[in-house]
Structure 1
Amino acid sequence: MIPSTATIALVLAVLSLAQNAFLATAAGPRVIIVGAGMSGISAGKRLSEAGITDLLILEATDHVGGRMHKQNFAGINVEVGANWVEGVNGGKMNPIWPIVNSTLKLRNFRSDFDYLAQNVYKENGGLYDQDYVQKRLDQADKAEESGKKLSGTLPASGSNDMSILAMQRLYDHQPNGPEMPVDMALDYYKFDYELAEPPRVSSMQNCVPLPTFSDFGDDTYFVADQRGYESVVYHLAGQYLKTDKSGKIVDPRLKLNKVVREISYSPNGVTVKTEDNSVYQADYVMVSASLGVLQSDLIQFKPQLPAWKVVAIYKFDMAVYTKIFVKFPKKFWPEGKGREFFLYASSRRGYYVVWQEFEKQYPDANVLLVTVTDEESRRIEQQSDNQTKAEIMEVLRKMFPGKDVPDATDILVPRWWSDRFYKGTFSNWPIGVSRYEYDQLRAPVGRVYFTGEHTSEHYNGYVHGAYLAGIDSAEILINCAQKKMCKYHVQGKYD
């Protein structure tokens, strides 16, 4: 029997009512978040607060936290990624600090760099004269202060920006760049140790002064809690994702070991495909993958991202910052007040320069941390740990020629640059990149949104930058999904 027109109309009406009832109970649009690091989790929290709870978080690794990640080393948990709350005790409150210090009460220690001048070792052993080093440091500080004043007079567009090295030349501080080992070591400590790239690369206008310290304060606090700095990310995730009694996330909206390889987008929605051939569909996607991943071929966008977006992605730098932990059977280095940090002034710039001992953080662990960056990081990642250990032992025996320096028993060398899920540690704002390219970097493309520390307007490269970027990017998506304000304004290059 052929149904009557009235019957068909009735069925369609019932189906329509059922569909509308489903939409009424659904929590707004469906959003896929790529990455469960700080920015991805932060974005998810803000979306949830706005009523967008139909979320799916796809994380490539087996853990939450991204570049905030602890690892067991010789019986203690150390941070292979982010380690400090940077910018504390200033005019504004760093949003990460109360979570670390008050809510979670993670063990943390103020890093004291005030005595560095008395802890600079010559290439072949012995300490430089403290007054001499302080004089060199004061000269560098003077040039930097002049640079800060200059930065404040330049157009906000960045059209008259220069490199930090150009700033140093302008103020007659080593016009040819640092040449003596002690000057190279101090220069490395002041800039590379913070930015992970040298002054000839980094933007003066965006790095001198660094907004993190001018806004939040000059103090930094080293997190040395066995629960891990990643506890902050788990804490934020637990505010909208279901957890069990132990705090483990058991929410089905979080899927680990899901490597996103393809994102297809159209005016009607997005489709995300993972390496295990799973396919997920949604109204929007929030990509919180690192800048290094965006610069690689891990994720394919279909259609390809527009040229303006690709150029912006490639103009920014993904820097490499490597913290190498080394354990010894006994201590042979100085301890006590003012001895936590020390420098090795090699004639080879960036060669195992900045050292830290852990008398307070990890008592009796007999562990040292040495930090390398940039080209040295890439070089070290491509050699064996035994080769790196041998180089470190040679340096330490040069620094302490009169000491019995035993062979290291353990070494931990993170390989962020080689890891396809990160391709580096954090972004750095290079010379030649203006506010215009930054706006393009975080701008959405259709239904594809972007977040991450590299999209933080003022705090790229920092944990608080990743946290705030997640909130900011979520707000852009919320404006579109709920308020139909989908046009993202990018100021003109010279505005």
Structure 2
Amino acid sequence: MAYELSLDCERLTEFERAFLPRDGYHREEDFIAIRNALIVKWRSRPREYLTAETATDLFKKKFSDLAVAVHKYLTTFGYINFGIMKPSKHAFEEFAATIQNVRLNAANFGSTFKQKKFSVVVIGAGMSGLAAARHLSNLGHDVVVLEARRRVGGRVNTREFDGPKGTKVPVDLGGSILSGSNGNPLFVMSRQLGLISHAIQTECDLYDENGNAVNEEMDKDVEATFNRLLEDMSEHRRNIERSVANTTSFGAEIEKRINNELLKLPTEKRQEAKDIYNWHIANMEFANASRARELSLMQWDQDDAYDFSGDHVVVRGGNQKFIEALSQGLTIWYGHRVSSITDLGVGRGVIVNCGADLDVMADACIVTVPLGVLKRDLIEFFPALPCRKIKAIRNIGFGVLNKVVLVFPEKFWDDAHDAFGFVQSQTSDRGRYFLTYTYDKAEGNNVLIALCAGDAGIEVELHEPSVVVTDLMTYLRSAFGKQGKTVPDPISFHVTKWQSDKYTYGSYSSCSVDTTGEDYDEMAKPVGNIHFAGEATTRQYPATMHGAFLSGLREAGRISMKCDDACELDKIAEITVGINDWYRYKRTLDESAKLDGRSNSKEALAGYLGSNTRFIDMR
């Protein structure tokens, strides 16, 4: 399990070493052994909070001090006791009320220092922002989440569409797949919530653009050759200058090698083989939300070593269930687009500005907006971000993947398989409907989702949704018509436009020819009181929902740890709101309050804002 979570099993990290008792008695290997045992212990029953007292009881008395320290480390950084657990009088009592010294021993574990914890503004109510906010709240911090949209979830967006017989059908328009069930924290959360999951099957029948089934033997031969070419390219990049490999286009290199393979085939088979090769490239463009030519030969798969093992799964009802569970009980202010962040320095906190009428002040903030927003400089930072951080924002790729959703009155496809796909004769079209799938097997969930990747993912946003749906229906009717099946008109449909979305400007990150793994590490570094989270801030798990989730826990842990080392005078400790025009701002709050079903009375608004919020009239 430690290896699944990318934990070092031989030496302690800087963060882990900070929790090691200073008495010099305990060894690093003892810390690691206890750490691994506690992770397995909690994951065996993740619905229940694992207390420090229980943790110490698992080991010999001479390890009590160390067990307490390890428990604090694991809980602070969300390796245990994260997500949604059963209510318990013991849950987080050890952390929530007051600050505990990092290096407590078992004898004085109950002693406390009467210090308040850092107040924190989380910018963005997506997966990373909600994970950070909930964990900070559990650890006893005052937290407010500022969300520009009128909904939570960000790039996780489950929407209900009209289905057969007046039903409503949930569909994930954004993040949908839990990648690897072993170790994945979201799979742990699905267990906590009792969600039904479906393991994705790997079989995928392919059709050409005329609806003819792709030759099975040719399909197998091309897949085997494509995988061999990837292995050859991996060897090639190890044998050339790293800087050259970094800036070499993956797409250009793979297409050069494919062309060499095509020349070995009879002329009459080359086009058929090329179409299948292009399908495999489109599948990689889907995985990276980027065009193959923009990917780095050296870096494009740099995160593969950290993939969780196990099945890829989807949860019934959509991933909004995670979002709803994480956001429950949090103070979230909707319709608040952040325009600037000012870091006032150590002990003085930050000012988060939301336009002309509102400033929110706290000890720290976590920026979780998508990389596409940062690339457009839509948030000003005072003082300016370090040059290395700015360079990382520019270097990391941020492309697009789009979905075409169709809801039908009945199923006409083979529900025994999860997916099928279409190959294209034009290279520029290779990502168009290359994969069409249906993962939710619930009764009445007659949904097909077609993916558009690479150039096709960009191009699909230029057309009216009805035009795109008509085009896709032509493909479906050609393929299934040849099987003697009738394809009815859809009841409802939707075409996503993530690149045009003013809150994201894209789908997820990738390693462009300008990117290295170090850029992701740079994105993860705090700048003074300003912290950063999101899938583009994790080198190990980019472009994934679990990566976003884990990055939120990481920054919650950093802030909580920083707070432990700060003195009483170094904290603002409560959210402070400066309002220039209360009556105009009250109208904004009225709208936000209605989203939570509250009335617009002053008492209800005060409850919406949070009992620990202090107001300042800035007029």
* Shorter-normalised TM range: 0.7 to 0.9
Counterpart residue number, 2:430: 349
1:323-334 matches, cutoff 5 A: 323-333=403-413
Which residue type is aligned with residue 413 of structure 1? Answer: V
- Residue aligning to 1:65: 153
TM alignment of 1:476-495, pairs within 5 A: 476-483=558-565
Which residue, 330, 340, 358 being the options, matches 1:278? Answer: 358
How far 1:59 sits from its partner (Å)? 1.5
CA distance in 1, matches of 2:556, 2:290: 30
Partner of 1:145: 231
Residues 45 and 332 of structure 1: CA distance in aligned 2, closer, same or farther (over 3 Å) = closer
Match of 1:464 in 2: 546
Unaligned runs of 5+ in 2: 1-112, 163-167, 263-269, 568-619
Deviation at 1:300, TM superposition (A): 2.4
Q: Does 1:84 align with 2:177?
A: yes
2:290 partner letter: E
Query: Structure 1 residues 164, 258: CA separation in 2 closer, same or farther (over 3 Å shift)?
Result: same
Give the CA deviation at 1:47.
3.3
Measured after TM superposition, the shift of residue 153 of structure 1 is 8.1
Greater CA deviation, 274-283 or 449-458?
274-283
Which of 372, 380, 386 does residue 292 from structure 1 map onto?
372
Single out whichever of 143-152 and 122-131 deviates more from structure 2.
143-152
Does the Cα contact within 8 Å between 2:252 and 2:293 map onto a contact in 1? yes
Cα gap change, 1:422 to 1:482, in 2 (>3 Å): same
Match of 2:199 among 107, 110, 114: 110
Specify the code of the residue in structure 2 equivalent to 1:457: R
Q: Distance in 1 between matches of 2:441 and 2:436?
A: 14
Cα 1:56/1:152, change in 2 over 3 Å: farther
Match of 1:121 in 2: 207
TM-score of the aligned structures, taking structure 2 as reference length: 0.64
C-alpha distance in structure 1 between counterparts of 2:138 and 2:356, whole Å: 31
Structure 2 residue aligned with 1:377: 457
> 1:317, 1:428 within 8 Å by CA — same for their partners in 2?
yes
**Which structure 2 residues correspond to residues 59-458 of structure 1 after superposition, within 5 A?**
59-74=147-162, 75-89=168-182, 93-100=183-190, 102-113=191-202, 115-116=203-204, 119-147=205-233, 160-161=245-246, 162-165=248-251, 168=254, 172-175=257-260, 180-189=274-283, 191-208=284-301, 210-211=303-304, 215-217=307-309, 219-225=311-317, 228-237=318-327, 249-251=328-330, 253-267=331-345, 268-275=348-355, 277-333=357-413, 335-337=414-416, 339-347=417-425, 348-357=429-438, 361-402=441-482, 403-458=485-540
The answer (yes or no) to whether the contact 2:498–2:506 under 8 Å persists in 1 is yes
**Residue by residue, what CA displacement relative to the aligned partner does 1:193-249 show, whole Å, maximum 9, x if unpaired?**
22222332223444436437x541152112222xx3132234344xxxxxxxxxxx3
Q: Is the 8 A contact 2:535 2:541 kept in 1?
A: yes
Q: Using CA pairs below 8 Å that are at least 6 residues apart, which structure has the higher relative contact order?
A: 1
Contact 1:148/1:209 (CA < 8 Å) preserved in 2?
no
The letter for the 1-side match of 2:279 is A
SS at 1:411's partner residue? Answer: strand
Corresponding residue of 2:128? 39
- How big is each residue's C-alpha offset from its partner over 1:252-303, in whole Å with a ceiling of 9 and x where there is no partner? x332222212212232332112247221112221111111111124322234
Q: Distance in 1 between matches of 2:177 and 2:238?
A: 27
User: Deviations for 1:361-382, whole angstroms, at most 9, x for unmatched residues?
Assistant: 2433432110112432333223
Quote the Cα distance in structure 1 between the aligned partners of 2:244 and 2:527.
26
Structure 1 residue identity aligned to 2:147? E
Name the aligned partner's letter for residue 196 of structure 1.
A
TM-score (norm 1): 0.79
Q: Where does structure 1 lack aligned partners over 5 or more consecutive residues?
A: 1-23, 238-248, 486-495
- Report the CA distance between 1:328 and its aligned residue: 2.8
Aligned residue identity for 1:217:
S
Asked if structure 1 preserves the Cα contact closer than 8 Å seen for 2:118 and 2:560, the reply is no
The letter of the residue matching 1:133 is D
2:299/2:517 contact within 8 Å kept: no
Name the aligned partner's letter for residue 182 of structure 1.
I
CA separation in 2, counterparts of 1:481 and 1:94? Answer: 28
1:182 to 1:435, Cα distance in 2 relative to 1, 3 A = closer
Change (3 A) 1:377 1:236: same
- 2:431/2:453 contact within 8 Å kept: yes
What is the aligned residue count? 434
